[in-house]
Structure 1
Amino acid sequence: MLSDVTGRKGAVIASSTTSPTPAAPGGGIDRALISTAALIVIIAGLKAGASLVAPVALALVLVVAVSPVQGFLVRHGWPRWLSAAVLLFVVYGFLASFALVLVASVGRLAALVPQYADRADALIAQVKGWLADLGVDQAQVATLGKQLDPGHLVDTVLTLLGSLAGIVSNLAFLLCLLLFMALDAGGYPARITGLSAIRPGLAEALKRFARGTRSYLLVTTIFGAIVAVLDGGALWALGVPLPILWGLLSFLTNYIPNVGFIIGLIPPALLALLDGGWRAAAWVVVIYCCINFVLQSVIQPKVIGNSIDLTVTLTFLALVFWTWVIGPLGAILAIPLTLLAKALLVDVAPNGRWANHLLTAKP
C-alpha cells in the first residue's frame, strides 16, 4: 500500500515537472493591446496638455544641452549654486537675445508688407492671367487670389505677433522651470550613479539620450549659424529687405528635420519677388538651394548621423507627430523628444531592443 501511494506521488511530481502549464491563449496579444491602449492614453494626455508640455520639453532640452558647463564648473571647485547661476545666465541670455531680435524683426516686417500692396496686386493679376490661359477654373483662381492678397498677408503677420504675445504670457513659467531644473541639474550625475545600481538599463538609456541630444544640438547649432550667416549675407548682397530676420529664420528652421529648408526659403523668396521681381526671387531660390545642398543635405547628415542614429523616415514621422502633439515647438524639438521616447520605450526594455533594428540608421 505504501509503495503504491509513493509511486502515485512520484508520478504526479514527474508529470508536473515534465508538462508545463500551457500559456493562456492570446496572452501576447492581450499585452500588446494593453500597451497600445496605454500609449494612446499617454499621447492623448500630452496633446491635451500641450501648453504645459511644450515649455517643459523646451526647458529640459535647454538644460540638457548646457549642463556640461555646470558640470565643468562643479568639478573645478565652484559651488553648486554659483554654477547653476552661470547656467541660468547662459540660457536666459540666449532666450532674451533671440526673442528681442525676433520681435523687432517681425515688427519691421509688419510695417514693411503694406508698402508692397500695389506690386503684389500686379503680380497676383499676372498669375491669374497665366492660370486663366492654362484653363484653370475661375473659382479656384479667385480663391488663390484671396489667399495671396496683401491684406491677408498682413493679417497673418499680425496673427504671428499675437502668438508671440502668447509665448510671453508663458515666459514666467518657462523661466521658473529653468531655474528649478538648473538647481537640480548639479545633482544629476549622482542620481544617475545611484540609479545605475538599481536600474542599470534605465541609467544607460538616459545617458545615451543626454549624449545624443547634446551632440545633435551642438552640430545643428554650428551648421545653423553657418547657414544663417551665408543666407543673411547673400540676401544683403541682393538687396532683399530684412536679411537679419531671414538669417535668423534659417538658423531656427535648421532644427526642423527634412522640411526646415523649405520653410526658411519661402518668406525671403516672396519678399524678393515683391521687391525685385522674378529675377531676384530666382537668385534667392538658387542660393538657398546651393547652401542647403552642400551644408544641410551633404555635410550635416554625415556629421550628425552618429549622434542620433535614426532613419530618415523616422525623423520625418517624428517631425509630423510632435508638431501634431505639442504644436510648432514640436517641430524644433522633434529629434530630442524622439531620442527621449526611444530611450524610455525601447532602449530601457531588454525585450524591446529588437526595435532598434528597425529604427536606427545603422542597426
Structure 2
Amino acid sequence: MTSTLMTRLAILGMGVVTAFATLEYAQDFFAPVLSALILGIVLSPLVRFWERIGLRPSLSAFATVAITMIAVVCLVLLLEPYVAEAIARAPVIWVELRTTIEGIRAMILGLDEIAEDVVAAVDPKGEQAQPPAEGIDVPSITDALFYAPQFLAQLMMFVGVLYFFLLTRTEIYRWVGASVPSLSRDDFLHAERQVSRYFLTITAINGSFGVAIAVVMQLIGMPGAVFWGVSAFFLNYILYLGPLALGATLLVAGMVVFNGAASFAPPAIYLSMNAVEGQFVTPAMVGKRMSVNTLLVFVSLVFWLWLWGPIGGVIAIPLLIWMITITERALAQPISDGIPNLIRTNPDQSKL
C-alpha cells in the first residue's frame, strides 16, 4: 500500500514537473493561447450582451475582438509619445541617477575617504582606477525588425484563439463537462462569471486609481502625468510587485526632475495612495466572497512571473480564481470548509 502511494506521488510529481517544463519551453505557444483564454473569460459578459440584443454568435465574438483590438491600438497611440521620450532620455537619466546614487552613498558611508585610505595602504604609488563609463543599450531598428515576425505570429495566434473561444466557449464547456463527471457546463459558466466579475471590478478600481495618480502627478509638477497614470493602472494588476516597480521608477524620475527632499515626493505619494487603495477600497468593493489568501496570491504571482514574465503576472490572479472556483464546484463544497486558513480569508488579509 505504501509503495503504491509513493509510486502515484512520484508519477504525479514527474507529471507536474513535465507540465511546467513544457509551459516554459513552449512559452511562445502557450503564453498567447492561455492569455487569450483568460481574456475570453473576462470578456464573456460583453459577448452575452451582444447575444441578448440579437447578434449571432459569430458577430458577437467578432465585435468583442474588434473592440478589444481597437482599445489596444488607441492605448498604444496614447502611450507612444511618452515611451519614445523615455527611451530618448534614457542615457541622460542613467547618468543623473548614477551621480545621485554615488553622492548619497558617499555622504552616508564616507566611501571616498575609506577608498583613498585603502589604496594608499595597499599601493602608495598606485592610482585609483576609474570605473569605465556605462550606458544603456537602447533597442535599435534592427532589433525591432528581428522580433517583428515572432510578435506578429503570436499576435495572430492570440487573436485567433480569442475569437474562436468566444465563439464556441459554451460548446467547450459542455464537452469538458461531459468528459469530467464531477463538473458540468454550469460549473464552468459559474467560474467564468466569478473571474469576469473580479476582473471588471478590479479594472474599474485600477482605472479610478490611475486617473487619481495622473491628477496628483500633474499637481506636483511631475512630467508625463498621463504616462504615470496609465502605468499605475496597468501595474496595479500585478499585485505587490507592480506597485513596488512603479514606486522605484518614480523614485528615479523624482531624482531627475526634483532636487533635495522633493525627489522622494512622487514615490511617497504613489505608495501611500496605493496602500489606501489596497487596504480599504479594493476589499470594500470586491468583498469577502471573492477574497483569497495572501500566501496563495503571492505564490501564484511569483510563479507565473518567473515562468512567463509580465504576461504571467497579469494572468496569475484570474487563473487562480478560476482554478479555485472550479475545484470548489468539483468537490461540491467550498474548499474553505476543509482548508479555512488557505483559501478564504477576511477582506483585510488580502486585496482580493
User: Normalised by the shorter chain, which TM-score bucket?
Assistant: 0.7 to 0.9
Greater helix proportion: 1
- Who is 2:120 aligned against? none
SS at match of 2:43: helix
- Who is 1:324 aligned against? 306
Q: Distance in 1 between matches of 2:94 and 2:15?
A: 52
Q: Does 1:301 align with 2:283?
A: yes
Q: Call closer, same or farther: CA 1:135–1:66 in 2, change over 3 Å.
A: same
Q: Distance in 2 between matches of 1:105 and 1:264?
A: 15
Q: Percent identity between the aligned chains? A: 21
Contact in 2 for aligned 1:256/1:319 (Cα 8 Å): yes
Q: Which string of whole-angstrom CA distances, capped at 9 and with x for unpartnered residues, describes residues 209-261 of structure 1?
A: 32232122112211111111111111122222222222111111110112221
SS at match of 2:55: coil
Q: Call closer, same or farther: CA 1:121–1:81 in 2, change over 3 Å.
A: closer
- Who is 2:344 aligned against? 361
Please list, as runs of the form range in 1=range in 2, the aligned pairs for 1:152-163 lying within 5 A after superposition.
152=135, 154-155=136-137, 158=139
AA aligned to 1:80 is P
Please list, as runs of the form range in 1=range in 2, the aligned pairs for 1:24-173 lying within 5 A after superposition.
24-116=1-93, 119-120=96-97, 122-133=99-110, 151-152=134-135, 154-155=136-137, 158=139, 166=147, 169-173=150-154
Q: Distance in 2 between matches of 1:269 and 1:131?
A: 18
Contact in 1 for aligned 2:288/2:345 (Cα 8 Å): no
Q: Distance in 2 between matches of 1:46 and 1:109?
A: 33
Structure 1 position 311, deviation (Å): 0.5
Give the stretch that moved more between structures: 338-347 or 39-48: 338-347
- Who is 2:236 aligned against? 254
Structure 1 position 308, deviation (Å): 4.0
- Who is 2:220 aligned against? 238
Q: Which has the larger radius of gyration?
A: 1
Q: Call closer, same or farther: CA 1:206–1:120 in 2, change over 3 Å.
A: same
Q: Distance in 1 between matches of 2:110 and 2:81?
A: 42
- Who is 1:16 aligned against? none
Contact in 2 for aligned 1:116/1:275 (Cα 8 Å): no
AA aligned to 2:169 is Y
Q: Does 1:220 align with 2:202?
A: yes
TM-score by structure 2 length? 0.79
Structure 1 position 102, deviation (Å): 3.8
Contact in 2 for aligned 1:213/1:339 (Cα 8 Å): yes
Q: Distance in 1 between matches of 2:16 and 2:328?
A: 13
- Who is 1:14 aligned against? none
Contact in 1 for aligned 2:182/2:330 (Cα 8 Å): yes
Structure 1 position 68, deviation (Å): 1.6
Q: Call closer, same or farther: CA 1:53–1:128 in 2, change over 3 Å.
A: same
The one of 259, 264, 268 equivalent to 1:282 is 264
Gaps of 5+ in 2: 117-127, 347-352
AA aligned to 1:62 is L
Gaps of 5+ in 1: 1-23
Contact in 2 for aligned 1:62/1:91 (Cα 8 Å): no
Q: Distance in 1 between matches of 2:259 and 2:241?
A: 25
TM-score by structure 1 length? 0.77
Structure 1 position 83, deviation (Å): 1.3
The one of 134, 158, 170 equivalent to 1:189 is 170
Q: Call closer, same or farther: CA 1:117–1:48 in 2, change over 3 Å.
A: closer
Give the stretch that moved more between structures: 41-50 or 165-174: 165-174
Q: Distance in 2 between matches of 1:136 and 1:355?
A: 62
Give the stretch that moved more between structures: 173-182 or 234-243: 173-182
Paired positions, count: 330
